[in-house]
Amino acid sequence: MKLNELFLETRARLIGAGLPASELEAEWIIDHTLGVTAIERIQQPERIVTPLECERIKSIIGRRVSGEPLAYILGEKEFFGFKFKVTPKVLIPRPETEHLVECALEWVQDNFTKGEPVELLELGTGSGCIVVTLLLLIPELKAVAIDISDGALDVAHENSLKHGVSDRLELIKGDASQTSALIGDKKFDFVLANPPYIERADARVDAFVRKFEPAIALFSSGLKGLEISSNWIAQLPQLLKPQRSAAGFEFGYNQAREVEGFFLGTGVFAKHEIVRDYSGHERLIWGMT
Ligand SMILES: C[S@@+](CC[C@H](N)C(=O)[O-])C[C@H]1O[C@@H](n2cnc3c(N)ncnc32)[C@H](O)[C@@H]1O
């Protein structure tokens, strides 16, 4: 079979299964399995695909049409233009979360001079996509990242090695509801988190997200699923340096007012802003002391 025929067949199967982004996913499946770049794929439509490669792609399509997320099948996901390893032990990095990285980059650029050291604490690091991206983009940055899941920490460690930033990242296993017990009285220039913030009973959660992604990364108890966010934010006064520090937290579609209340309740932020995501939803809060 020729490459262009295989591409059209793959795309047709994904469209037939009613999957959104079928064209893009067909491209990713082909490029990943054949080890070609997008340009090579376009330039070699007549390339012959071996029966083994066809079988591999068929098996991927079978898993995908039964609902398994493509990132878990391929074992990777792009975030902020960088490729991250992912396994079913970690949340698949979401495009919305890129806004947290953008806010952090802008804040560091506005408040630190070139060569000046900067220290970051991330709570609930998962795949490490946020912290590793920032370490890649800010050479002066050193970071500590905490997660309760061994599986997630293994993936974060692999991602830090893959991107060559492991020497500036300390990964700590533990419960971030007691961060000081894990890090002592150390204070940071900025703290970031994309905490588990979904209420278990929320009927809007996609069935495949619920089935395949780790519950510990998704759900939190309390009113509207805000227990973990409230707890982590309440610790910020102990975690931030008293001056020129900041914190950014992602939150759910209906949580802006409550999370803003938690930020104000800390009493440490002189100003804050709520930032919207690519779809126009209020998605994160950025506070500055
Ligand atoms: C929503 S995921 C975010 C992962 C990653 N930062 C991202 O944005 O893709 C939340 C992460 O918090 C971790 N987590 C959940 N409860 C925790 C706790 N009590 N202490 C530390 N980490 C926790 C989960 O294992 C998961 O990796």
Q: Using one digit for the tens of pLDDT, what is the confidence trace for 158-202?
A: 999 999 999 999 999 999 999 999 999 999 999 999 999 999 999
Q: Is the pLDDT of residue 281 over 90?
A: yes
Question: Is the CB of residue 60 less than 8 Å from the CB of residue 13?
Answer: no
Q: What are phi and psi of 19, to 5 degrees?
A: -85, 135
Lowest mean pLDDT of 37-41, 91-95, 265-269, name the range.
37-41
Helix (H, G, I), strand (E, B) or coil at 188: strand
> pLDDT of 51-79, one tens digit each?
999 999 999 999 999 999 999 999 999 99
Percent of the chain with pLDDT over 90: 97
Q: What are phi and psi of 81, to 5 degrees?
A: 80, 0
Q: What integer pLDDT is reported at residue 13 of this predicted model?
A: 96
Mean pLDDT of 246-254: 96
Q: Is the pLDDT of residue 242 over 90?
A: yes
> 126 alpha carbon to ligand 1 midpoint, in Å?
5
Q: Is the pLDDT of residue 20 over 90?
A: no
| Average per-residue pLDDT for the chain | 96
CB of 111 shorter than 6 A to ligand 1: no
Q: Is the pLDDT of residue 86 over 90?
A: yes
> 61 alpha carbon to ligand 1 midpoint, in Å?
29
CB of 150 shorter than 6 A to ligand 1: no
> 127 alpha carbon to ligand 1 midpoint, in Å?
9
> 115 alpha carbon to ligand 1 midpoint, in Å?
30
Superfamily name and number for 88-288: Vaccinia Virus protein VP39 (3.40.50.150)
Mean pLDDT of 75-87: 97
Which residue is listed with tokens 């590793």? 132
Ligand 1 atom closest to the CA of 90, numbered from 1: 27
Helix (H, G, I), strand (E, B) or coil at 49: coil
Q: What integer pLDDT is reported at residue 85 of this predicted model?
A: 98
Q: What integer pLDDT is reported at residue 203 of this predicted model?
A: 83
CA distances, 277 to each of 181, 198, 209, 227, 285 (Å): 34, 17, 20, 23, 11
Ligand 1 atom closest to the CA of 126, numbered from 1: 27
Ligand 1 atom closest to the CA of 218, numbered from 1: 1
Q: Is the pLDDT of residue 84 over 90?
A: yes
* Residue ranges covered by each domain of the chain: 3-66, 88-288
pTM: 0.95
Which overall architecture, per CATH, does domain 3-66 show? Orthogonal Bundle (1.10)
Percent of the chain with pLDDT over 70: 100
Q: Is the pLDDT of residue 278 over 90?
A: no
